[in-house]
Amino acid sequence: MIRFVFDECMPEHVLRAVEIRNREKPHEFLDVVAVGDGNVLPKGTPDDAIIAWAEQAGRAIVTLDDSTMPAHLREHLAAGKHCLGVFCVRPETAIPSIVFRSCDGRSRKRTG
């Protein structure tokens, strides 16, 4: 199972939708934490620190930030470090699509 961290760009209602789905379908549990939640990184944490934390925590990152996060990921990887992945979600993506694709690991490669 892939574990995820939502950065602070992800709307809180998406995290709440995941929590509701986890209650309704515990056999398809989606392990998600969010920047700004309790023991996770505080809001305002820079992208490079989120990537480093995600690597240590064994989590893939989900974000709306396709402007700076990919560049930080490239730098992280160029330094010989690792990351499970960064999923850049388009702002207009429907919540069920985000949640269900996260659950079954499907994704579409961005081509444009």
The band of 98, judged by pLDDT with boundaries at 50, 70 and 90, is low
Number of domains the chain contains: 1
| Residue at 62 is within a domain | no
Number of neighbours of residue 93 by Cβ within 10 angstroms: 12
| Residue at 111 is within a domain | no
Strands (E), 7-98: 32-34, 59-63, 86-88
The band of 104, judged by pLDDT with boundaries at 50, 70 and 90, is low
| Residue at 109 is within a domain | no
Place of tokens 């990152």: 61
Return the pLDDT at 14. Answer: 87
- Residues of the domain holding 74: 3-57+67-104
Q: Report the alpha-carbon distance of residue 22 to residue 16 in Å, rounded.
A: 10
Burial 52-65 (b: 16+ CB within 10 A, else e): bbbeeeebebbbbb
| Tens-place pLDDT, residues 18-53 | 899 889 988 888 899 999 988 889 999 999 999 999
Instruction: Say what the pTM is.
Output: 0.82
The rounded Cα 16 to chain-centroid distance in angstroms is 14
| Residue at 17 is within a domain | yes
Across the range 1-17, mean pLDDT stands at: 89
| Residue at 92 is within a domain | yes
Task: Please provide the size of the chain in residues.
Answer: 112
